[in-house]
Amino acid sequence: MPPPATRKPAFDGAVQSTGSTAIMVPRWPALVVALVALLACLYQLERSAPPLPWSDETEYLKYGSTLAETGRYAYTPAGPGADPGPGREPLYPLLVAAAIRIDPVLGERIDACIGNRSDATCPRVFQSLRWANALLIAAAAALTFLAARTLDAAAPQCRIAGLYLALNLNLIMASKFVISDYLALALAAGLAFALIAALALALIVTRRREFAAALLAILVGTGILAGGWAARNDAIYGRATVTDERGGMALSTREVFDHMTAGEYAASFLWWMRGPGRGLARKLFPERDWHRFDWYVDDGFYEMGEYELYEARIKRLMDEQHFDRAAAQAHVPSVIAGEIARELPMYFATMVPLTYRGLWFDEFIVFGFPALVWLLVGAIGRRDWARLAALSPAVFCLLVYPATTLNIDRFQYPAGPGIALAGGMAAVALYKRFRPRS
């Protein structure tokens, strides 16, 4: 690696000087990548009929509506004191509240249309939130482009990485839903870019304290968001937590897979494969090996984990420990963690199919995941901290979500930018290795 004084700049755009530190201004290709992503998402939205928000979506909408109406974060206008617990994390409801202020149709009809299946016009009321998803995907693609450019401005990998995300049709497919996952996608891309930029800053100015200050700013900013939310929950509900009872539910839906049979374990790799997987599982395995993977069968993994087993644990804590329901919900994650600790061999064994399950969010995963593993191994071997920083959000998602949840594919959207970066770098490396030589 050349010394910092001769290193090529992280961005190949124009340079503006402010004091002793140069700020690199990127050129227009990031906007082109963002536009491609936006058009791809809008095309997808135009082709699909908008569904009426339900389940998790209605909770986000309720919090956003109350925030826009009263200025307080609560499920109803009665205020947070009337809520049974902390509720949904506030960033996406804040976006909903902003959309309500900007979109008069959404502002006027949101309360009447939440859960209203009798009015055929209601699904269209939430269209601005679907357009917001498109903008978030575009932002994620542009930030992924900039992250790749910061790593190596001269390589075409930045364009490949940005377009990898922009044209990832399977990832874009859920943009018709009112969900927080695309906000998480954009934030993950922003975090990867910020971490790389902090390291690039350290190389440019050749002084460690500037890098330390940039990294500290990222960590403090993240800590303030999470810490402020936990402090709010402690003040109102008496427990400093960043989630509500969904933490216990998530662990319950994870622990239930520790009880797979050998046949179910084998069938899971087909059942969770995108495309023809379920049909192949039904064809090649007896019903007993795939039956419990169905979403809504009474004895299925989801129904048992999310409802029956979770509620049984709550009831047991209330009966044996004399907890009220809120205290039981707060305590149940530690109970499930203890159960997992007693089943560690099977827990680690089921990490494999559950990790595999989440990977299928990516349209190009058969290339992207091997690229990620290859790049990660190489970066560790070379102690390439910039690439490790870029990949760290993806690695976090790929490890934590299958460890703590049922890991449906949209849970892995925040891994998208890291996998796209790896895909871009691998594509360029393969081209350089196998290109025809004159």
Dist. CA 171–CA 413, nearest whole Å: 7
Question: Is the confidence at residue 138, as pLDDT, over 80?
Answer: yes
- Flag the least confident range among 75-89, 160-174, 193-207: 193-207
Secondary element (H or E) of residue 25: strand 21-25
For residue 68, how many C-alpha atoms fall within 13 Å in the half-sphere facing its CB? 24
Average pLDDT over residues 171-195: 94
The structure tokens listed for 265 are 């374990």
Predicted pLDDT of residue 215? 65
Q: Which residues pair with 16 in a beta bridge?
A: 23
Question: Is the confidence at residue 200, as pLDDT, over 50?
Answer: yes
Predicted pLDDT of residue 65? 96
Average pLDDT over residues 50-61: 93
Dist. CA 277–CA 260, nearest whole Å: 18
Average pLDDT over residues 421-434: 89
Residue length of the chain: 438
Nearest to 159 by CA among 147, 145, 139: 145
Question: Is the confidence at residue 438, as pLDDT, over 60?
Answer: no
Task: Confirm if 205 and 197 have CB atoms less than 8 A apart.
Answer: no
Nearest to 205 by CA among 14, 392, 27, 18: 18
Domain boundaries, the chain: 246-352
Dist. CA 289–CA 268, nearest whole Å: 9
Q: Where are the alpha helices (DSSP H) in 89-177?
A: 91-102, 104-113, 122-125, 127-151, 157-166, 169-172
Mean pLDDT, the chain, rounded, equals 87
Question: Is the confidence at residue 85, as pLDDT, over 90?
Answer: no
Question: Is the confidence at residue 5, as pLDDT, over 50?
Answer: no
Q: Where are the alpha helices (DSSP H) in 360-415?
A: 365-382, 385-404
356-415 tens-digit pLDDT = 999 999 999 999 999 999 999 999 998 888 888 889 899 999 999 999 999 999 999 999
Question: Is the confidence at residue 27, as pLDDT, over 60?
Answer: no
Dist. CA 211–CA 192, nearest whole Å: 15
199 Cβ contact partners less than 8 Å away, ≥ 6 residues apart: 211, 385, 386, 389
Average pLDDT over residues 312-316: 95
Average pLDDT over residues 50-74: 94
